[in-house]
Chain A
C-alpha cells in the first residue's frame, strides 16, 4: 500500500473531535475557575484585612493546594480528560502536573524518584518562562529604559 493511500485511511479512521463542544466546556470550566479566583481574592482581602495584591498570593496558593489535593483523591484526572484546557491552562494544571509526577515516581525512591522527576512537566514551564522573561526584560530595558 502506498503512503498516500495509507494516510488517507488513517485520516478517515481517526475519531473526529467535536471542536465546538470541547471549546464550550473549556470556556465554562475555565471561566468558573476565574470567578473562583476573584471570589477567593476578595474573601481573603475581607477576612484578613490585607491588600488585593497580597490576597492574590493566598488565592494562588489555595488553588494550587486544591489542585494537589484533588489529584491525590483521584478526581482531577477524570476532570482533566473532560474539561481539557479548561483545567490545564489555569494554575491548577501546573499543580496537577507536579502532583501526578510526584505520586507516580515515589516508588522509585526519594532522590531518583520524586526529586528527579517531580519537575519533569512543570520544569518546562519554569525554564521557558524564565528564559523568555529574561529576553523580553532585556528588550524592554533597551527600548524603554525600565
Chain B
C-alpha cells in the first residue's frame, strides 16, 4: 500500500511542477528553487513529517525533502542547545546527499567524455 502512496505523492509533485513549467515562463531552475522553499515552509507545522509517514520513500525523493531535511537538522540541534543550534545543525541530515553528489560528479567527470 505504501508503494501506491509513494507513487501518488511523487507523481503529484512532479505533475504540479510540470504544470507550472508549461503554463508560465519559469525555467526548471526556478521551479526546483520554488519546491525547495515549499519543502522548508511545510516543515514549520510538521506537515512534511506526516507526508513522510504516509508516503515513505516517495516523500523523500522529490527536491522538497531537501528543504525539509535542511530545516529538520537545524531544528533538531536547536532543541538541544538553543538558537545557535539552527546554524550548527543545518547540514546534519543533508550532508550525505550534497557530499555524495559532489564526490560522484567530480570523479565521474574524469572518467567520461561529454556527449552531445
Q: Which residues of A contact B41 (CB under 8 A)?
A: 132, 136
List which A107-145 residues lie within 8 A (CB) of chain B. 114, 118, 121-122, 124-126, 128-130, 132-134, 136-141, 143
Q: Is the CB of B109 within 8 A of A99?
A: yes
- Tell me if B's interface is mostly helix, strand, loop or mixed: helix
**A22 vs B36: C-alpha distance in the bound complex, in angstroms?**
22
Number of B residues contacting the other chain (C-beta, 8 Å)? 69
A-B contact count (CB 8 A): 243
Q: Is the CB of A34 within 8 A of B61?
A: yes
Number of A residues contacting the other chain (C-beta, 8 Å)? 74
- Tell me if A's interface is mostly helix, strand, loop or mixed: helix
| Sample (26) of A-B pairs whose CB atoms are under 8 Å apart | A22-B18, A30-B14, A31-B10, A32-B7, A34-B7, A34-B11, A37-B61, A38-B56, A60-B96, A64-B104, A84-B21, A89-B17, A102-B105, A102-B109, A103-B109, A106-B109, A106-B110, A125-B66, A128-B36, A128-B37, A134-B86, A136-B71, A137-B78, A139-B44, A141-B78, A146-B78
